[in-house]
Homo-oligomer: A and B are copies of this chain.
Amino acid sequence: MIFVGFGFLMVFLQRYGFSSVGFTFLLAAFALQWSTLVQGFFHSFHHGHIYVGVESMINADFCAGAVLISFGAVLGKTGPVQLLLMALLEVVMFGVNEFVLLSLLGVRDAGGSMTIHTFGAYFGLVFSRVLYRPQLEKSKHRQGSVYHSDLFAMIGTIFLWIFWPSFNSAPTSLGDVQHRTALNTYYSLTASTLSTFALSALVSGDGRLDMVHIQNAALAGGVVVGTSGEMMLTPFGALTAGFLAGTISTLGYKFLTPILESKFKVEDTCGVHNLHGMPGVLGAFLGVLVAGLATHEAYGDGLENVFPLIAKGQRSAKSQAVYQLFGLSVTLVFAFVGGSLGGFLLRFPYLDSPSDSQCYEDQIYWEVPGQHEPEAQTPLNVEESDTRA
């Protein structure tokens, strides 16, 4: 349930705090239930019963994580019913993709660089692309943050940063592997935090830092070791991976996000492409590399816990690497198909999506204290002077 922490990461929008944290809550509650069923059907369906336990709880949590990542791409432009329908489809696609990767292909992805982050990000981005609104600039003035909303978002960042070593190591086998995963994640996060600060100052022009980069790119180190965290990545490898992840993530926020929007019509509200998409794909490639280098000497008796098929002699390290790469391709295909399908089914404004001029605005969906008529006067005078100040 820890993924609800994502909710606060999205509170940065000046007029969308209730929806960010509220719909996170709604989506998580729905996805946790629905994915317990879907994943139970794939993984623990015996004699007409689904068996549940702590493991199914962790799996459902990870699936909810992917849904919340996709939510980040369309934040502010969709209504709660639309989001629930998106989750309805995404949970199924997630379950199928995870089943294909982990059970059919024997791919390793404990912390979900592929199954959670790559899948969630590209599902959301394609979904956002299909729902593209040419008139979105009518809501542009509400898209920024204000001082306190940025501080709220930092609560989410710190919460996720502290608990990320636990996320990545939760589904691994106990003992050595779990400790190794936690340590690799820890090193990678510290490195991505440093590279984010350095890059943010470097690319800003005037040497000042951008809160958006810190809030997000500092976490990219957790994403990038999602696949390889349980493997013999070594501390040096984890630091390098984290450094790269923080770097591409920050550069993505600065240079790629505007291009994605202007050229490719992909409006990515939270920049999930930078925090989950690119670092997820990088993490998948890192997994290919580290799996391909696996030897009996390096892992000893622990090989069985990380690469059971190699330990049993059914697969060489090289072929495991090929399977990892194939797993990434499968994930991207499922994400694109799922996101397109979801987008086309839900793109018409017959649902509860806000109009072009009402995006990023809480009072469409919430009774906001102190404001009884929707859009009465300039409803946003509120924070306007705020940002003008």
Interface residues of A, Cβ cutoff 8 Å to B? 1-2, 4-5, 7-8, 11, 14, 17-18, 21-22, 25-26, 28-30, 32-33, 36, 52-54, 57, 80, 141, 144-148, 150-152, 154-155, 157-158, 161-162, 165, 179, 182-183, 186-187, 189-191, 193-194, 197, 204, 208-211, 214, 218, 235, 239, 363-371, 377-389
Kindly state the separation between the CA atoms of A370 and B197 in the bound complex, as whole angstroms: 21
| Contact partner, A8, options B148, B158, B381, Cβ 8 Å | B158
Closest 3 CB pairs of A and B: A370-B387, A29-B193, A380-B387
From A179, which residue of chain B is reached at the shortest CB distance? B54
Contact A4 B158 (CB under 8 A): yes
Please indicate the chain B residues that have their CB under 8 angstroms from the CB of A193 in the complex. Answer: 25-26, 28-29
Distance (Å) between the CB of A34 and the closest chain B CB?
10
Give, as a whole number of angstroms, the nearest-CB distance from A59 to chain B: 13
How long is the Cα–Cα vector from A386 to B382 in the complex, in angstroms?
4
Q: Are B151 and A17 in contact (CB under 8 A)?
A: yes
With A210-B367, A387-B14 in contact, is A152–B151 under 8 Å at CB? Answer: yes
Give the complex CA separation of A146 and B14 in angstroms: 14
By beta carbon, the residue of chain B nearest A80 is B197
CA gap between A150 and B369 in the complex, in Å: 9
A25 touches B369 (CB 8 A): no
Cα–Cα, bound, A3→B270 (Å): 27
**Could you tell me the distance between the alpha carbons of A29 and B379 in the complex, rounded to whole angstroms?**
39
Q: How far is the CB of A270 from chain B (nearest CB, A)?
A: 16
Q: Find the B residue at minimum CB distance from A29.
A: B193
Say which residue of B209, B369, B389 sits within 8 Å of A381 (CB atoms). B389
Q: Once the chains bind, are B382 and A369 in contact (CB under 8 Å)?
A: no
Question: Do B369 and A22 have beta carbons less than 8 Å apart?
Answer: no
Q: Closest approach, in angstroms, between the C-beta of A247 and any C-beta of chain B?
A: 14
Distance A193 CA – B190 CA, assembled complex (angstroms): 33
Q: Taking A29-B194, A152-B151 as contacts, is the C-beta distance between A211 and B366 under 8 angstroms? A: yes
Chain B residues closer than 8 Å to A29, beta-carbon distance: 189-191, 193-194, 218
CB-nearest residue of chain B to A146:
B386
Instruction: Verify B30–A194 contact, CB threshold 8 A.
Output: yes
B183 touches A147 (CB 8 A): no
A29 CA to B145 CA, complexed, in Å: 25
Closest B residue, CB atoms, query A151: B17
A60–B8 Cα distance when bound, in Å, is 27
Residues in B neighbouring A208, C-beta threshold 8 A: 363-367
> Could you tell me the distance in whole angstroms from the C-beta of A121 to the nearest C-beta in chain B?
23
* Cα–Cα distance between A77 and B127 once the two chains are bound (Å): 46
- Residues of B near A14 (CB, < 8 A) are 369, 387, 389
Q: Give 21 pairs: A residue, B residue, CB < 8 Å, sorted on A.
A: A5-B158, A5-B162, A8-B155, A17-B147, A29-B189, A29-B193, A29-B194, A52-B183, A146-B369, A146-B370, A146-B387, A147-B368, A151-B152, A155-B155, A211-B366, A380-B388, A380-B389, A382-B385, A382-B387, A382-B389, A386-B386
Q: Is the CB of A1 within 8 A of B162?
A: yes
Contact A190 B369, beta carbon cutoff 8 Å: no
- Per the bound structure, the CA–CA distance linking A8 and B388 in Å amounts to 22
Output the nearest chain B residue to A380 by Cβ-Cβ distance. B387
Q: Which residue of B lies closest to A234 (CB)?
A: B52
Most central of A11, A54, A182, A386 by chain B CB within 10 Å:
A386
